[in-house]
């Protein structure tokens, strides 16, 4: 039987010292699962927790009370795919279209992706919270063109406050691109692909 968390909360602190202090207070306040925490560029600190709605709400309030918060989000009923994707990567299947959401903060990414998944039957393939992104959040979605457009519109509506950095939609995305993105969006994860017919020069 699959278990899922009733709630997720993510707080982004301007200061590492305050972020670590917040983790201590959050863990002391309620019985939450500490899913991930640590530094991201440029010198910020992320704390991601999950659990029952009541316990996450208590921990979230304790974390916010510490101060030095850049952005935060509490999702009392996160979409199942979002819950499962935290910290995971999924292969990109052949799809009609591919979309990318890029936000200025990681909490904004969770807000936007949760809204996108609830708005249309699209697949979440990758979710990156701040790592190697200069503090930004990044998500890759695949599905039908119409569904992805509806998902992106819902993401835009949910984020607000100017937190959306960029969003793109690629109809009939190249199969080679889907293979590359499926391996991960970071430069170090990129697989080398030389399709048949690629031009080369002989020495």
Question: Tens of pLDDT along 141-182?
Answer: 999 999 999 999 999 999 876 899 999 999 987 777 777 787
CATH value at residue 155: 3.30.70.1710
Q: How far apart are CA 111 and CA 25, in angstroms?
A: 24
Last residue of a domain, one of 75, 93, 110: 75
| 60 shares its domain with 101 | no
Averaged pLDDT score across all residues of the chain: 87
What count of other Cβ atoms lies within 10 Å of the Cβ of residue 144? 16
Is the same domain home to 92 and 141?
A: yes
Q: Are residues 176 and 95 in the same domain?
A: yes
| Residue 104 and residue 175 share a domain | yes
* Residue range(s) defining the domain that contains residue 145: 80-184
Instruction: Report DSSP letters for 6-46, one per residue.
Output: SEEEEEEES-HHHHHHHHHHHHHHS--EEEEEEEETTTEEE
- Do 69 and 84 lie in one domain? The reply is no
Does residue 1 have a pLDDT over 80?
Answer: no
Q: Where is pLDDT greater, at 86 or 197?
A: 86
More confident residue, 125 or 184: 125
Residue 40 C-beta-side C-alpha neighbours within 13 Å: 25
- The arithmetic mean of pLDDT across residues 65-70, rounded, is 96
Q: Which residue has the tokens 């949760």?
A: 114
Residue-level pLDDT at 18: 97
Regarding whether 89 and 164 lie in a shared domain, the answer is: yes
Same domain, 31 and 98: no
Asked if residue 87 and residue 70 are part of one domain, the reply reads no
The more confident residue out of 197 and 97 is: 97
Give the H/E segment covering residue 33: strand 33-40
Q: What's residue 93's pLDDT?
A: 62
Give me the percent of the chain exceeding a pLDDT of 90.
65
Q: What value does the mean pLDDT take over residues 179-195? A: 73
For residues 174 and 123, membership in a common domain is answered with yes
Whether residue 126 is found in the same domain as residue 177: yes
What's the pTM value of the predicted model, to 2 decimals? 0.87
If one counts the domains in the chain, the total is: 2
Q: How much is the pLDDT for 174?
A: 78
Confidence of residue 11 (pLDDT cuts 50, 70, 90): very high
Is the same domain home to 108 and 163? yes
pLDDT tens figures, 85-119: 775 555 556 778 999 999 999 999 999 999 999 99
């Amino acid at each position: 039987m699959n278990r899922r968390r009733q709630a997720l909360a993510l707080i982004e602190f301007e200061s590492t010292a305050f972020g670590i202090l917040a983790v201590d207070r959050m863990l002391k306040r309620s019985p939450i699962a500490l899913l991930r925490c640590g530094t991201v560029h440029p010198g910020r600190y992320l704390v991601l927790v999950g659990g029952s709605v009541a316990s996450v709400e208590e921990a979230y309030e304790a974390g916010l009370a510490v101060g030095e918060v850049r952005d935060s989000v509490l999702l009392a009923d996160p979409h199942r795919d979002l819950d499962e994707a935290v910290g995971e990567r999924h292969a990109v299947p052949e799809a009609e279209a591919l979309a990318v959401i890029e936000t200025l903060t990681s909490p904004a990414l969770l807000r936007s992706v949760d809204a996108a998944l609830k708005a249309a039957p699209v697949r979440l393939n990758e979710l990156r919270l701040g790592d190697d992104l200069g503090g930004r959040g990044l998500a890759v979605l695949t599905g039908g063109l119409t569904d992805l457009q509806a998902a992106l519109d819902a993401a835009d509506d949910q984020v607000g406050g100017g937190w959306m950095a960029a969003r793109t939609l690629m109809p009939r995305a190249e199969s080679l691109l889907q293979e590359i993105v499926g391996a991960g969006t970071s430069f170090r994860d990129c697989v080398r692909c030389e399709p048949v017919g690629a031009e080369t020069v002989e020495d």
